Amino acid sequence: MEQEVVGNSFTVTYGKIGTKGQTQTKTFDSAEECLKEAGKLLSEK
DSSP class of residue 40 equals: H
Q: All domains of the chain, ordered by start, with CATH?
A: 2-44 (2.20.140.10)
Strand partners, 24: 12
DSSP class of residue 12 equals: E
Residue-wise pLDDT tens digits, 1-45: 788 899 999 999 989 999 989 999 999 999 999 999 988 888 876
The answer to whether the beta carbons of residues 17 and 23 sit under 8 Å apart is no
Please report, to the nearest 10 degrees, the dihedral formed by the alpha carbons of residues 27, 42, 15, 29 taken in order.
0
The confidence score (pLDDT) of residue 4 equals 87
